[in-house]
Homo-oligomer: A and B are copies of this chain.
């Protein structure tokens, strides 16, 4: 991995700088959106990063490679979205909204990262990021510019896209050796608490995420809808988590993930006139779907369909993303909505949803096939979910020295400690 990863990373970084030198300039808009950008930024690096630290021996990779993907991807996302949306022959003019979109584009790769977490190496993740953001930018252009569909909080173009792309990748990279639970694929008490840092910052700033690229005057409605959708979703998630457990106990994996489904699902139609109680209803249904998905669907996907989804992104981003798309179809079907002078229709919304999932699956499968090439060096099944494959990890004996003053006097336990 030493040279493969380093050389790919340095080479691509050099290419980015050249492309920025040729094509990218400052725009001089006002910076009102900076407030929203920062929240998205926190969600990408802290939210996604810490959410994945739940694994007991994979926290360095979750945080570190999450940061790498995002820092790398935001440069490529700036270029890809810039090329597609710039005027004919113009430079790419970067403003706060470009930075939001660049961060958004990395979210797709980070969602897919959740599906393959523990099973890929850093070089593979750089390639996945490069390919996924390219496909994402194309699909996003298709949805917004060709179909002229609405998806203000990106339920479809980011969440469903990232999830199904990642599921296709993990399907292609299927590892029979991980059919039985890997000994490292579990959490510890403190790793679950670290993961809650991610959950909470995602939950708190989701209103900003959904309204980040909206016009100033549309934001209030989006913020209110997302706020109440998430609140309703959280309460329902706690209730179902207890209800589905034999002893009535809460499950951390559900609280960490399903509480967020309401933010995903309300995304597509958060700027439409849906009334707060409908937003809450969407949040509720999202919570129910997500909890049921974790409990009943994920095990089936793994055992029957060879889809090993480490973080359960299907339940957090996939199903709630589709729900968001469907909500958008229904709202545009039952009431008249226009945006920038164009009428929204159920047909356009359905086309957007269908194309997003189709492109994600095909793009993910092709990406998976490329990542499967032997040249990248797969990590062995045994070393999956283990930071020490790619990180210098503090020697674990050290933990014991803290705890025991008598350590030196009991050297016969040293091997165990």
Chain A residues close to B by CB (< 8 Å): 1-3, 5-7, 9-10, 12-13, 16-18, 20-21, 24-29, 31, 34-35, 38-39, 41-42, 45-46, 49, 53, 56-57, 59-60, 63-64, 67-68, 71-72, 74-75, 78, 94-96, 99, 122, 183, 186-190, 192-194, 196-197, 200-201, 203-205, 208, 216-217, 219-221, 223-224, 227-228, 230-232, 234-236, 238-240, 242-243, 245-252, 255, 259, 275-277, 280-281, 284, 390-394, 396-407, 409-410, 413, 415-417
Contact = CB atoms under 8 A, between A and B. Distances in A.
Nearest to A194: B193
Nearest to A238: B68
A193 B63 CA distance: 8
A95 B220 contact: yes
The secondary-structure label for the interface of chain A is helix
A290 to B, nearest CB: 15
A26 B415 contact: no
List the 3 closest A-B pairs by CB distance, nearest first: A2-B248, A71-B234, A21-B277
Contact of A46 (B200, B243, B277, B410): B200
A204 B42 contact: yes
Contact of A255 (B17, B64, B238): B64
A258 B114 CA distance: 26
Nearest to A41: B204
B392 A6 contact: no
Nearest to A35: B35
15 contacts: A21-B275, A25-B276, A31-B219, A34-B35, A38-B208, A56-B402, A57-B402, A63-B200, A71-B235, A74-B231, A122-B242, A245-B392, A251-B392, A406-B416, A410-B416
A220 B28 contact: yes
A403 B216 CA distance: 52
A236 B13 contact: yes
A205 B38 CA distance: 8
A398 B242 contact: no
Given A46-B204, A406-B415, 11 more contacts: A28-B217, A28-B220, A28-B221, A38-B204, A56-B398, A63-B193, A75-B231, A122-B250, A197-B197, A250-B392, A252-B392
A13 B235 contact: yes
Contacts of A205: 38
Nearest to A42: B204
A252 B60 contact: yes
A92 to B, nearest CB: 9
Nearest to A400: B403
Given A6-B243, A13-B236, A235-B71, A187 B394 contact: yes
B2 A245 contact: yes
A4 to B, nearest CB: 8
